[in-house]
């Protein structure tokens, strides 16, 4: 038995945070029903790559789900959806605060129809507070949580992060965690609840060291200065002779000493407490004296916490990921098959379906709503 195979989810969310959350629930066995606008469907359907007119980005985020299409502002739309309430366990949405209530689909309406419903709202800044109605995207949440300030380049300007940490770490994962906790509580009490997921504030969890240093000792982190933000020679990225890069994270002394031996760092510079900058310069010079292939061979089988920086294409082809079957699952698009998006659900708790389709707009209208597909 899959852990969520008796759970039914009605998902109003779009783009990334909510759809990825419902994908994780679906992979654990839940039945997920997407609610989309008629015609074009949700916004992610307009994102590349396009395979015979179908979005690959949409497909990998919506593998194995069902879909209905409905104009939420149309007369009777709210009533037709609320009629599903007795069959639902979870309602997931991503609108700004108050939007669902104005549509007649807020938490109170769902609770009146089914007191056991878990209602999860993912927003940038939460359901209340002075910034609750402020528009934003991932970059805004990372900026507001003090993360961007710590990734400034040589000119002092922060770069654009390559990962959507606000959406996934601040939105998707907290939503899934709290929904699972709420399901556990409901098992004991029979009560549903409202779950307020605020992406910006959830990113503060990732600042644990900076918060401890700043609030405990008044030493607020600065770019290039902290142990984990470039201030330590033991935790930096160094350039190789062939313009590749080596990620050195040898924080513990046993790893650091092993790396220094391979890199032939002079004994006088291995104690980086004496002159961290001099040690960093020596390491940079040593790494730059050899190409990436030399470093890969020299570090193989040695405990140093050092890794060559790989491109995404190289990572996808990594033998370790292949051996663990990370990309062994598939998502079906008419005429095409793509590797499914890896999600953090272990095989024992995940649907055994190796291949599953992404839904078409409104394909479930008849079976779910008793209405024609649109």
Task: Give the pairing of strands 245-249 and 50-51.
Answer: unpaired
- Contact status, residue 269 vs residue 314, Cβ threshold 8 Å: no
How far does Cα 104 stand from its chain's mean position? 30
- Contact status, residue 151 vs residue 223, Cβ threshold 8 Å: yes
Q: Which of 137, 196, 245, 275 is catalytic?
A: 137
φ/ψ of residue 56, rounded to 5: -70, -35
Burial category of 72 from C-beta neighbours within 10 Å (exposed 0-12, middle 13-18, buried 19 and up): middle
- Contact status, residue 269 vs residue 212, Cβ threshold 8 Å: no
What token pair was written down for 269? 């510079």
Q: Which of 11, 89, 138, 167 is catalytic?
A: 167
What token pair was written down for 330? 């598939």
Tell me the C-alpha to C-alpha distance, in Å, between residue 321 and each of 316, 317, 372.
Answer: 7, 7, 43
Task: Give the pairing of strands 336-339 and 330-333.
Answer: antiparallel
Number of CB atoms found within 10 A of residue 224's CB? 15
HSE at residue 126, side-chain half, CA atoms within 13 A, is: 9
Instruction: Round to whole Å and give the CA distance between 284 and 309.
Output: 15
Task: Give the pairing of strands 330-333 and 355-357.
Answer: parallel
Active-site residue, 167 included: yes
Catalytic residue positions? 137, 167
């Amino acid at each position: 038995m899959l852990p969520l195979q008796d759970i039914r989810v009605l998902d109003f969310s779009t783009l990334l945070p909510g759809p990825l959350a419902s994908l994780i629930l679906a992979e654990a066995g839940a039945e997920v029903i997407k609610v989309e606008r008629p015609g074009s469907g949700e916004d992610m359907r307009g994102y590349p790559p396009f395979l015979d007119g179908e979005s690959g980005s949409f497909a990998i985020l919506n593998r194995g789900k069902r879909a209905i299409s409905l104009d939420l502002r149309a007369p009777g739309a709210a009533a037709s959806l609320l009629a599903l309430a007795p069959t639902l366990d979870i309602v997931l949405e991503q609108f700004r605060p108050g939007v669902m209530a104005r549509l007649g689909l807020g938490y109170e309406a769902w609770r009146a129809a089914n007191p056991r419903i878990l209602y999860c709202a993912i927003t940038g800044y939460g359901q209340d507070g002075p910034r609750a109605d402020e528009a934003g995207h991932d970059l805004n949440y990372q900026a507001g949580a003090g993360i961007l300030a710590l990734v400034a380049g040589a000119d002092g300007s922060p770069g654009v992060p390559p990962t959507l940490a606000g959406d996934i770490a601040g939105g998707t994962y907290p939503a899934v965690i709290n929904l699972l906790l709420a399901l556990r509580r409901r098992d004991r009490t029979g009560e549903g609840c409202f779950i307020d997921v605020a992406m910006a504030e959830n990113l503060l969890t990732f600042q644990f060291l900076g918060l401890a240093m700043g609030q405990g000792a008044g030493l607020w982190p600065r770019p290039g200065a902290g142990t984990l933000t470039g201030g330590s020679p033991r935790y930096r990225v160094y350039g190789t002779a062939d313009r590749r890069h080596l990620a050195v994270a040898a924080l513990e002394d046993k790893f650091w000493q092993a790396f220094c031996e391979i890199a032939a760092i002079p004994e006088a510079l291995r104690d980086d407490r004496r002159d961290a900058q001099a040690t960093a310069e020596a390491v940079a010079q040593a790494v730059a004296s050899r190409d990436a292939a030399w470093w890969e061979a020299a570090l193989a089988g040695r405990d140093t916490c050092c890794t060559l920086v790989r491109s995404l294409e190289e990572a996808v082809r990594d033998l370790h990921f292949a051996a663990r079957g990370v990309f062994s699952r598939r998502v079906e698009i008419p005429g095409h098959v793509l590797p499914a998006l890896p999600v953090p659900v272990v095989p024992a708790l995940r649907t055994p379906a190796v291949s599953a389709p992404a839904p078409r707009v409104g394909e479930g209208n008849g079976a779910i709503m008793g209405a024609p597909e649109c």
